Amino acid sequence: MIYAFVVEPDAQEDAWEAASYLELRSPGEGLRFLNELERCYRYIRDFPHGFQERRGRFRHAMLDVFPYRVVYEVDGGTIHVYQIRHASREPSKRFGP
């Protein structure tokens, strides 16, 4: 099955904030982060049920290179990405740890 893939505006903002922060810390790291995030997105598209549900229907995919997670939900034929979150941040009340 081919799923529609939607990155919600809050998740887009999370990604750009993380990339900007990493780029300021070390030139080139922001681009590496965005490339790794895109690799994670491709994996989620190919295997949408490849990560267990953590809270309700929300699933968390960890990036391999950076300590960030992608919070997403499979809803019918659509994958919704809701959040890009650093792994050391306080757990989200809505999306879980």
CA–CA dist 97, 26 (Å, integer): 28
Residue 94 falls within a domain, yes or no? no
CATH of the domain at 35: 3.30.2310.20
pLDDT at 11: 97
Number of domains in the chain: 1
Asked whether 27 and 21 are in contact (CB, 8 A), the reply is no
Structural domain that includes position 68: 4-86
pTM of the model: 0.90
Residue 16 has a pLDDT of: 98
The two three-digit tokens of residue 18, written as one number: 């993380």
**Cα(70)–Cα(15) distance, integer angstroms:** 10
Per-residue pLDDT of the chain (97 residues; tens, 9 = 90+): 889 999 999 999 999 999 999 999 999 999 999 999 999 999 999 999 999 888 789 999 999 999 999 999 999 999 999 999 998 877 666 666 5
